[in-house]
Amino acid sequence: MKRIGIDVGGTNTDAVLIDKTTVLGAVKSPTTSDVMSGVVNSIQRIVKEQGDARLDIDAVMIGTTHFTNAVVERARLDRVAAIRIALPASASLKPMVDWPADLRACVDPLTFMIEGGHEYDGRPLVPLDKNAIREAAAQIRDAGVTAVGITALFSPLTAECELEAAEIVASIVPDARITLSHRLGRIGLLERENVTLLNASLQSLGKATVAAFRDALKSVGIVAPFYLTQNDGTVVLAEVAAANPVYSFASGPTNSMRGAAFLSGRDEGMVIDVGGTTSDVGCLVNGFPREANNIVEVGGVRTLFRMPDLLPMALGGGTIIDPQTGKIGPRSVGYRITEKALVFGGDTLTTTDIAVAAGLVEIGDRDRVKHLDKSLVKQHLAGIHAMIEDGVDRMKTSAGDMPIIVVGGGAFLVPDRLAGVSEVIHVEHAGVANALGAAMAQVSGEVDQVFSGMTREAALASAQEIATRRAVEAGADVETINLVDAEDIPIAYLPGNARRVRARVVGTIGSPGMKLVA
């Protein structure tokens, strides 16, 4: 099965062509300001490399930073309507209470706080105020808002109120795009509501992004199904991803981690992905990124949902070094490195210039950095290595030394020896590990909810069934699905043998039913 994997980063757009587990071609191109032309350029180069060979492409996997960038840049976001079903509880803290003021102004929310929801043990708090839902829906319709996020108290335990409210809203606002919190977040009300509203604000961008990628692929002759990468190291059909764009947050680093696992043949260990702008340190568990179990901020918004446990650092191949103070970062020349770095004839000292001057890598014109003082070069390298060692130490969960796999276009910045590291593993194709991780990704299905009134075995079986159904909806072949992770935690003080169950399954992509000839 031939696939193309593409990863759009802040500095470079990488693409690979694989046939099962064999890498047939790999290219790295500068990311363009309009993104899509960079994607087209990368695919055209991949196709050109194959010469006259016939390409039967089964699928295209794309990793993109579109959605994270939209939140960070406060741009391309929809106005949202927030419906919280929790009164008389939670009245003192309104929706988006902890959002940065500029982001809140960008989505200009309509907020409604309505009676309903459930107690922690599944009992109704108060009856759902259906009339208030109807009135809210009418105001949403009259305001012309179509992005709606619905959050109910303890809905991960009992989703009844959210489902009923969604049905009412859809009957009054037929074109509404509704996000329900129990399908995304965990029990914490505010963080779950936050990710729900972020998702609602991004859905039209998700639809537009998928359409733009489809047009870009068609422009180079590709009509195969395509998928977007997710932040758990898997992929879903593009149309499914467009409905839940928040699951693409941090998908770039997870692509790199999956690529690192594939290239090194290791399922356990640490990974550092050194890009052009930033580096990400993470941990592999059973070949997949370790999941964060705490609150993760996205664009200044506190969220609690499925996210990889990563430590981002302002260190990359394009990181700027102040020649006066020797300070490394946090600013970077990004995709303009071929214009700004000294080795390319620019006037900005970067970490790449230091690496070239030290003889670690051959990039650009080494003669342009011969004037750099050797002692300063050594000093800057020591500072870079100290940053990496600190990042690794912060992500370790035990005091012992651990192996680390190095990937990314700036992998040359990582030395062969580091304090606290048992082995530094450099791999072939490290510069395009992100695109490779996308290309060989599987499809996943996940569930994280509370089950009660059944035995432990029945709860685990129900969770696996739900996760399997979600994987099939996302594009997995049901015959290939395997359970890769499951855990259950009994919940004290809840009746009915209640337990929180988390389960994840993965499978290969289903038969696409169509092929590409390029």
Residue 85 token pair: 């079903």
Is 491 a domain residue?
yes
End position of a domain, from candidates 205, 229, 258: 205
Contact 507, 469 (CB under 8 A): no
Torsion over CA: 413, 416, 419, 423 (sign)? positive
End position of a domain, from candidates 173, 205, 237: 205
| Distances in whole angstroms, Cα of residue 173 to Cα of each of 131, 143, 196, 253 | 15, 11, 18, 38
Is 477 a domain residue?
yes
Is 57 a domain residue?
no
Q: How far apart are CA 100 and CA 321, in angstroms?
A: 30
Element (H, E) at 12: strand 12-19
Is 476 a domain residue?
yes
**Residue 491, Cβ neighbours under 10 Å: how many?**
18
The predicted pLDDT at position 511 comes to: 54
End position of a domain, from candidates 205, 234, 256: 205
Q: How far apart are CA 413 and CA 433, in angstroms?
A: 16
Residue type, 374: K
Element (H, E) at 70: helix 66-73
Is 340 a domain residue?
no
Is 366 a domain residue?
no
Which is nearest to 281 in space by CA: 384, 382, 388? Answer: 388
CATH of the domain at 175: 3.40.50
DSSP letter (8 states) at residue 138: H
**Residue 51, C-beta contacts closer than 8 angstroms, at least 6 positions apart:** none
**Buried b or exposed e, range 62-97, using 16+ CB within 10 angstroms:** bbbbbbbbbbeebebbbbbbbbbbbbebbeeeebbe
DSSP letter (8 states) at residue 18: E
**Residue 163, Cβ neighbours under 10 Å: how many?**
14
The predicted pLDDT at position 80 comes to: 97
| Distances in whole angstroms, Cα of residue 316 to Cα of each of 12, 239, 352, 469 | 12, 33, 8, 40
Which is nearest to 68 in space by CA: 404, 312, 284, 430? Answer: 312
Q: How far apart are CA 199 and CA 434, in angstroms?
A: 24
* Residue spans of beta strands (DSSP E) within 359-467: 402-407, 421-426, 443-451
DSSP letter (8 states) at residue 79: P
The predicted pLDDT at position 52 comes to: 54
Residue 367 token pair: 């003669």
Domain count, the chain: 2
Contact 460, 501 (CB under 8 A): yes
- pTM, two decimals, is 0.82
The predicted pLDDT at position 513 comes to: 37
Torsion angle defined by CA atoms of residues 380, 384, 385 and 387, in that order, rounded to the nearest 10 degrees: 140
Residue 195: alpha-carbon gap to chain centroid: 13
The predicted pLDDT at position 53 comes to: 55
Is 188 a domain residue?
yes
Element (H, E) at 390: helix 374-395
What tens-digit pLDDT sequence spans the chain (518 residues)?
788 999 887 667 888 998 877 888 888 877 777 777 888 888 888 877 776 555 678 889 998 878 888 898 888 999 999 999 999 998 899 999 999 999 999 999 999 999 999 987 778 899 999 999 999 999 999 999 999 999 999 898 788 999 999 999 999 999 999 999 998 877 789 999 999 999 999 999 999 989 988 888 888 888 888 889 988 888 888 888 899 999 988 888 888 999 999 999 998 999 999 988 888 999 998 888 888 877 888 889 998 888 888 888 889 899 999 988 889 988 888 778 889 999 999 999 999 999 999 999 999 999 999 999 999 999 999 999 999 999 999 998 888 899 999 998 889 999 999 999 999 999 988 888 989 999 888 888 888 777 888 899 999 999 999 999 988 988 888 989 989 888 888 877 766 788 888 898 988 887 543 333 33
Domain span at residue 111 reads: 73-205
Longest Cα–Cα distance of the chain, Å, equals 76
The predicted pLDDT at position 516 comes to: 34
| Distances in whole angstroms, Cα of residue 265 to Cα of each of 55, 261, 285, 422, 428 | 27, 6, 13, 17, 12
Torsion over CA: 294, 302, 72, 149 (sign)? positive
Is 257 a domain residue?
no
